[in-house]
Amino acid sequence: MIETKLFMDSSMKGFEIKINNNLKKIAATSAGSVLVTLTYQHGIDITGSDDESGETFQWTKSDFNIGDIVEIKPKHVLSICDSTVSKKIDREELLTTYNNLKQFLIKEGRLNNENDRNKI
């Protein structure tokens, strides 16, 4: 049985995702994004975030094989499947991760230091 959340306001845009005609998920957020990643190594990974609530979602991860048919259809939906993982975004943690990544990329020479912009 698929558990659903019902949104009373109006329909929202989402995606119906099937592999070999088997429904995997209907993924949607009221104000955010849905990311569907397909790779041979890791299969299908459906994640997203909701900008208003500050939450990230992991809807599903599953393998697929060569020859499988993956179908992704945009849909207007009133209800969506619950995510398997939902996490509130910690803005301080996000800022720390951003600053650490930025410093790493500057050290690697892949990103210019903001203070050096006038020297270009």
Q: pTM, whole model, 2 decimals?
A: 0.59
Bigger pLDDT: 83 or 73? Answer: 73
pLDDT at 17: 85
Confidence category of residue 59, pLDDT binned at 50, 70, 90: confident
Confidence category of residue 40, pLDDT binned at 50, 70, 90: confident
d(CA 3, CA 87): 18
Confidence category of residue 107, pLDDT binned at 50, 70, 90: very high
CB-CB contact of 102 with 25 (8 Å): no
Q: Which of 61, 33, 25 shows the shortest CA–CA distance to 49?
A: 33
d(CA 48, CA 83): 10
Per residue in 6-32, pLDDT (tens digit) is 443 456 778 888 888 888 777 777 778
Q: Is 44 exposed, middle or buried (0-12, 13-18, 19+ CB in 10 A)?
A: buried
Q: For residue 75, what are its two tokens?
A: 């849909």
**Residue found under tokens 């020859």:** 67
Position 57 pLDDT exceeds 80: yes
